[in-house]
Amino acid sequence: MMSDIRLFPRLVVPDPELASAFYQAALGAEQVFSAPPTDDGRPSVIDHRVGGASFRVSPAVAAWGWLSPDDLGGSAVLLEVEVGDPDAVGERMVAHGAEVVVPIENRPYGKRSGRVRDPFGHLWIISGELKPDGR
């Protein structure tokens, strides 16, 4: 096993600064680094930390093969976050521009979960513990 490997998912978006603001407001992500703007005025990468995880956002650049979900006609990846209160996180994401794809509810597989599409087309599964009353 290779314990020296670290994984940093990178979300490709049209506007990294707008996406960074969304992830900070909706998920409580902390921006830890932003590269200086490139020739087109957008940073090539913005690093974030949320809980014990890190992720990056970068601009869509077709010449590099960096395509956003809109360029692809949908998201090719599901991002799953496990949180203490999935309802609150889902509501906060929607309040900042995400849309509900699958409502957050108790599921027969023992989790409370649902799915939202963020304003940049990325799909997020938000899950947590079951609610005893199911609401």
Token digits for 131?
């609610």
User: Is the separation of the CB atoms in 125 and 113 below 8 Å?
Assistant: yes
Average pLDDT per 10 consecutive residues for the chain, totaling 135 residues: 83 97 97 93 95 95 94 94 96 98 96 98 97 77
Would you state the pLDDT for residue 132?
86
Provide the b/e sequence for 43-60 (b: ≥16 CB within 10 Å). Answer: bbebbbeeeeebbbbbbb
The H-or-E segment that residue 103 falls in is strand 99-106
Quick one: pLDDT at residue 110?
95
Q: What is the pLDDT of residue 23?
A: 97
How much is the pLDDT for 134? 65
Q: What is the pLDDT of residue 113?
A: 98
pLDDT at residue 5, rounded to an integer: 87
First to last CA, the chain: 42
- Domains of the chain (ranges plus CATH)? 1-63 (3.30.1900.10), 70-135 (3.10.180.10)
